[in-house]
Amino acid sequence: MQYFVRRQWDLQQREHTPPSVFENRQAHRRDFLKQMGLSAAGIGLASSVAGCAKPTDEEIEAAGDVGWLPKEYAEKYPAKQNETFEYGRSETAQRAAAEYTNFYEFSSSKDCWRNVSKFNPSPWSIEVDGLCGKPRTFDLDDIYNLFPLEERAYRHRCVETWAMCVPWTGFPFAELLKLVEPKPKAKFVAIESFVRPKEAPAMGDDSFPWPYTEGLTVDEAMNDMAFLATGVYGEALPKQHGAPLRLVVPWKYGFKSIKSPTRITLTERQPLTFWNGLKPNEYGFTANVEPEVPHPRWSQATEWMLGTRKEHDSVIYNGYGEQVGGLYA
């Protein structure tokens, strides 16, 4: 007989429960409280005590606030909307995206915004090295001065089946890579996030192989869809979305879109990455959205939207086949 032992990095069961169960969650909660012998008055009281009340939009916004410097950059360098990109669905509400994030350095539950207060994403720098002619370190000044910003309406699909449609502000990853002049021998980019256990409480959990790491082939990284985002919804990136900048590769499952990178290394060999290293049979290195290929523990055929819980059929390469299909032909 096979026993399933839940490890730290396995998804919690509730994260892939069908959306219909969540729709009924108020009812379930009432039933649960009734079973516990609590009356209607008790239910009201339970909702209003600290930690049970629904946070306000202002509380969530204040928690993710990145401080004056990144905000000043975001205001000084407004982004031009790139009209080539459309969601084909409704835009996700800003709050719905901000209160449901994956950022394991802060928490393995979705309300990471509650744990980001000590994170200080400015000043920030990214070192780019390895197989390139002009290795270089970029600080935020360089990033905002060197790369004209645009806004792109992108879909995002998490391997856990939730999805969102958000307007990222940023610039193509290729523009940064071109400046360091990758050598022909470079076949992959290895990307590494920060190590700041004093600012990111969940980094104290040493069952994870910190820092968070990800990687792409050089061809994928040079594709115009691969985007480095400095903002979202027309504002500086809130901490929980990966301040002060993060990768966005919308044809791949969301874990590839690494937040808050500090180092990018051009290499000849495929790098070991966070999730792929932990569970290679569940989280492949390539990790393109492929509805026909189920995750070993759930189907990838459909997805549900943050905020509305509306369900959609998933699409190969998350619908970006025209832009990236050639990479895999």
Min dist CB 259 to ligand MTE, Å, is 4
Q: Is 273 in the site for ligand MTE (CB under 6 A)?
A: no
102 vs 115, beta carbon nearer ligand MTE: 102
Q: Is 94 in the site for ligand MTE (CB under 6 A)?
A: no
**Alpha carbons 110 and 9: distance in angstroms, whole number:** 14
43 vs 197, beta carbon nearer ligand MTE: 197
Strand partners, 238: none
Min dist CB 46 to ligand MTE, Å, is 29
**Alpha carbons 173 and 147: distance in angstroms, whole number:** 10
Are 237 and 230 contacting, i.e. CB atoms less than 8 angstroms apart? yes
By CB under 6 A, name the one of 124, 154, 255, 317 that touches ligand MTE. Answer: 255
Min dist CB 228 to ligand MTE, Å, is 13
User: 52 is written with which tokens?
Assistant: 């049970």
By CB under 6 A, name the one of 85, 104, 154, 320 that touches ligand MTE. Answer: 104
**Alpha carbons 163 and 19: distance in angstroms, whole number:** 12
User: 66 is written with which tokens?
Assistant: 């990145």
Q: Is 151 in the site for ligand MTE (CB under 6 A)?
A: no
Find the binding residues for ligand MTE in span 280-319 (CB under 6 A): none
By CB under 6 A, name the one of 94, 169, 260, 276 that touches ligand MTE. Answer: 260
Find the binding residues for ligand MTE in span 178-217 (CB under 6 A): 193, 212
150 vs 192, beta carbon nearer ligand MTE: 192
Of the ranges 46-54, 67-75, 222-230, 254-262, which one interacts with ligand MTE (CB under 6 A)? Answer: 254-262
By CB under 6 A, name the one of 116, 131, 140, 158 that touches ligand MTE. Answer: 158
Q: Is 115 in the site for ligand MTE (CB under 6 A)?
A: no
Stretch 213-252: interaction string toward ligand MTE, x if CB under 6 A: ----------------------------xx----------
Q: Is 92 in the site for ligand MTE (CB under 6 A)?
A: no
Min dist CB 198 to ligand MTE, Å, is 16
Residue 245 CB contacts under 8 Å (≥ 6 apart), including other chains: 124, 126, 143, 170, 228, 229, 230, 237, 260, 261
Q: Which residues of 22-47 are buried (b: 16+ CB within 10 A; e: fewer)?
A: eeeeeeeeeeebeeeeeeeeeeeeee
172 vs 238, beta carbon nearer ligand MTE: 238
**Alpha carbons 170 and 193: distance in angstroms, whole number:** 18
User: 284 is written with which tokens?
Assistant: 């492949």
**Alpha carbons 209 and 275: distance in angstroms, whole number:** 9
Min dist CB 260 to ligand MTE, Å, is 6
Going by DSSP bridges, is the β-strand pair 213-217/188-193 parallel, antiparallel, or unpaired?
antiparallel
> Could you tell me how many residues of this chain bind ligand MTE (CB under 6 A)?
16
182 vs 254, beta carbon nearer ligand MTE: 254
Residue 158 CB contacts under 8 Å (≥ 6 apart), including other chains: 102, 253, 254, 255
For every residue of 44-88, DSSP letters joined together read: HHHHHSTTTSPPPHHHHHHHH---HHHHHHHHHSPPEE-TT---S
User: 166 is written with which tokens?
Assistant: 């958000």
Of the ranges 47-55, 128-136, 216-224, 257-265, which one interacts with ligand MTE (CB under 6 A)? Answer: 257-265
| Residues engaged in binding ligand MTE (CB under 6 A) | 101-105, 158, 193, 212, 241-242, 254-255, 257-260
